[in-house]
Amino acid sequence: MSAVTAPPLIELGAPVLGEPEKRALAEVIDTGWLTMGERVRRFEQAFAGVHRASDAVAVHSATAALQLSLAAFDIGPGDEVLVPSLSFVATASVVVHAGATPVFVDIEGSDRPHISVDDARTRITERTRAVIVMHYGGYRVDMPRWRALADEFGLCLFEDAAHAAGMAEQVGVLSDAASFSFFTNKNMTTAEGGMMLIRDDARRERARLLRAHGMTASTLDRDRGRAVGYDVVECGHNFRMDELRAAMGLVQIERLEGWNARRRALTETYRQALARELPEVTVPFDSTHPTTAHLLPALLPPGTDRPAVMAHMREARVQTSVHYPPIHQFDYYLRTLGGVSLPHTERFCRDELTLPLHPQLSTADVERVVRSLHQALAAGSHEHPRGETTT
Ligand SMILES: Cc1ncc(COP(=O)(O)O)c(C=O)c1O
C-alpha cells in the first residue's frame, strides 16, 4: 500500500508573524513596564497617521471601542440604535450593554451586502438616536450617503470598522466614531486589540477618560511623578491596551498597506478564476469597490447544501466559514426582541460561503480552493449530512 500525503491545509485566515514581532515583545519585557504606556501612545499616533487623523484611542478590542463610542455620546436606556443584522454579534451586543435597543436593518441586496439606507429610513422612530454601519469584508460603506441620513434625522453615526484597518479614504472621517479590530484574524493583529477614531477633540478626550475608569491620571503618570493622586470624573471602564499589544501593533502597522494590496490582488485572482471555472458562484461588490479585502465572500447557487460543500472542502484540506449567521435569528435576540423579517439578509446568509484569504496565499492556492469548490459542487450536496464552520 502506498502512503498518501495529504496536501497542505489552506487556512481561512492566518496572521503574518515573525522575528520583528518577537523582538518587539521581548523589548517590552526587558523594559519591565507592561501596562498602558508610551508604546500605546506611539501606536495611537501611528494608526492615526495611517488614517490621516489627528489622533486615536487604543483599547483592548473593537467591542470595547464600539462600547466606548456609545458611552462617549451618551447613548443609553430608551434609545434605539439601527444596526445591520449581517455582522458579528458585537455590533448589536454593545447596544444592549449600553441599555439601548438594537433595531435590525436589512442589507441592500446580495450583490451589495451593506446596511441599507432605504430600509433604515423605514425603521427610524422618535427614539432612534444612532446608527452603526459596518464595512462588510472590508468593502467600504457609502459614508457620504449615511452622513446625509444621520444629519437629516439628527442621529449619531458610528462605524464598525473592524474589517477596515488601513482604509484611509472616508473611513473614520465622516462618522462620529469608528472602531477597528486587531483580533488575530484581522488584516493586522495585536492578538486582541482595538482602536477608535473620533474626530471631535472633546469627545475623544472623554473616550480616553472612560477607557480607564474616568481617572484623571494614569499609573504611568504617577510612576513618572507627573501626578501625585487622581480624581474620578466619569464612571468608566477598564478598556486599556497594554504595551505588549502596542509593540506588536507598531510592527504590524508598517506592513498593513502591503498586506492589504496583496489581499486585493488575491481577490482579483479569485474573481477571475470563479468567473472562468464556476460562473454560477458570484462574489459581491464589483472589483472597483474600495476595500481592504478582509474577507472573500462567495455566493453559492440557491439551493446548495452548504454544510455538505464545507465538509467536502474540509476533506480537501481547505478551510471555509460563513460570515455571518444573521444576528436577528440568534436565540438571544429572538427571545428579547422578537422576530423581524430581513429577506435580503436571510437570503445572503443562507448562500454565503467565505473562502480563504490572507497575504500568505499564493495564486496556486487560490486555484486549488476554486478547484475544490468546483469538485464539492459537482459531487452533489447530499453525501455529507453535516459541515463544519471555522471562525
Ligand atoms: C464586524 C465585527 N465587529 C466587531 C468585531 C469585534 O472585534 P473584537 O474581537 O476586536 O472585539 C469583529 C471581530 O470579529 C467583527 O468582525
Check whether 248 has a pLDDT greater than 60: yes
pLDDT above 90 for 221: no
By most ligand atoms within 8 Å of CB, the mutation choice from 12, 47, 63, 184 for ligand 1 is: 63
Residue 299's DSSP bridge partners are 282, 352
| Ligand 1 atom at shortest distance from the alpha carbon of 182 | 10
State which H helix or E strand residue 180 sits in: strand 177-181
pLDDT value of position 383 = 42
HEC readout, 127-177 = CEEEEEEECHHHECCCHHHHHHHHHHHCCEEEEECCCCCCCCCCCCCCCCE
CA of 63 to the centre of ligand 1 (A): 6
Please name each of the domains of the chain with its CATH number: 19-251 (3.40.640.10), 257-378 (3.90.1150.10)
Task: Indicate if ligand 1 lies below 6 Å from the C-beta of 85.
Answer: no
* 19 CB-near residues (< 8 Å, 6+ apart): none
The pairing of strands 194-197 and 296-299 is: unpaired
Predicted local distance difference test score (pLDDT) of residue 381 = 56
Percentage helix, strand, coil for the chain under 3-state DSSP, each rounded to 5: 40, 15, 45
- Under DSSP, is residue 316 helix (H, G, I), strand (E, B) or coil? coil
**Distance from C-alpha of 193 to C-alpha of 189, rounded to nearest angstrom:** 7
Whether residue 90 has pLDDT greater than 70:
yes
- Give the DSSP letter of residue 300: P
Question: For all residues of the chain together, what is the average pLDDT?
Answer: 95
What per-residue confidence (pLDDT) applies to 219? 83
Q: How does residue 387 score in pLDDT terms, banded at 50, 70 and 90?
A: very low
Query: Could you tell me the pTM of the whole model?
Result: 0.95
Instruction: State pLDDT tens for residues 40-88.
Output: 999 999 999 999 999 999 999 999 999 999 999 999 999 999 999 999 9
Q: What is the pLDDT of residues 124-168, one digit of tens each?
A: 999 999 999 999 999 999 999 999 999 999 999 999 999 999 999
User: Maximum Cα–Cα distance for the chain, whole Å?
Assistant: 76
d(CA 387, CA 331): 21
Band (2; pLDDT cuts 50, 70, 90): low
Residues 59/249, Cβ–Cβ less than 8 Å: no
Pocket flag, ligand 1, residue 61 (CB < 6 Å): yes
Strand partners, 158: 132, 177
Q: Give the pLDDT mean for 1-17.
A: 87
Tell me the backbone φ, ψ of residue 163, rounded to 5 degrees.
-95, 0
Q: What is the pLDDT of residue 224?
A: 87
Locate 226 and state its grid cell: 507627573
pLDDT score for 382: 43
